[in-house]
Amino acid sequence: MNEIIYKLIGLVGGVFGLLIYVSGAQAATISVGPVNDVVQYDYHTIQEAVDIATGQDLIYVTAGEYNENVVIPKNSEIRITGEIGDPSSVVLHGNITFQDSASNTAAVLEDFTIKADGLQYAIQSSQNISLRDMRIRGGNDGVIMKAGNIDINNSFIRRAQHHGLVLQKAAGSLWVYTSTFKKNKAAGIRIDGNFYGRITNSNFLSNRKGLTLKDAELLNAGSDYGLKDCVLRHNFIGVLLINSTMNRSHNTFENNTKDIVTVSAVN
């Protein structure tokens, strides 16, 4: 019995030691910048930094223009950040693809610009992501969520050939705060399916449709969920509900050809 107890204690001790080691590990900061004779950066492309990053590493991208399409591996928790307070100084001419993910990990993109003119999308994700202080322009669609949750804060999504943001049926929750969707040729946001979340204090300006829901719900039992305290201005249609429902309150509709259009499914 004593021998068995000893082995169990050793096993528990080993696991405990591993947990201490993992929790004590610190995220690394990896720098990306242009080739020059003044400052030496870790890498000169974002993809090189992504390939070496692990866990919650921070990839710091310095001012400059980067021409590449970035692929981020499954279950990523990395954070890619540009120049804080000046997202226009870091420009990615290309797109970012997050590979399929089966975990609850979340990645962060913040403080830089993506220009995806002529491409299928600027960002496509099948995992949880957070967009903070981002500037996204162009693409057939700006951001495509195939699965996972997304939160968008203080970001600007504009001039997509179709939708600024698309949430497909397998996507999870949606949280949008103080962001702007402008001059997207179809909808600022297109939602297919039922979503838990909120769009608040945001602007939908000069889109074909500000917000489109198809066979969808964007609501919760609480009145704070859905569309709240938003401005919808100069859209052809402010909100289009196709066989859909949504809680909405305290929104401003100005100079839209039609503010709200509701279409019921025909059997």
Predicted structure pTM score: 0.87
How far apart CA 120 and CA 139 sit, in angstroms, is: 5
Task: Provide CB contacts within 8 A for 88, sequence distance 6+.
Answer: 113, 135
Query: pLDDT class for 103, splitting at 50, 70, 90?
Result: low
Q: For residues 90 and 83, is the Cβ–Cβ distance under 8 A?
A: yes
Task: Provide CB contacts within 8 A for 152, sequence distance 6+.
Answer: 130, 131, 134, 165, 175, 176, 177, 179
How far apart CA 179 and CA 66 sit, in angstroms, is: 24
Q: Does the pLDDT value for residue 156 go beyond 70?
A: yes
Query: pLDDT class for 46, splitting at 50, 70, 90?
Result: very high
Average pLDDT, the chain: 86
Of the candidates 65, 58, 59, 68, the one whose C-alpha atom is nearest the C-alpha of residue 97 is 68
How far apart CA 142 and CA 46 sit, in angstroms, is: 20
- What tokens does 197 get? 């979340």
pLDDT tens digits for 178-196? 999 999 999 999 999 877 7
**For range 41-51, the mean pLDDT:** 97
Domains and CATH numbers, the chain: 28-263 (2.160.20.10)
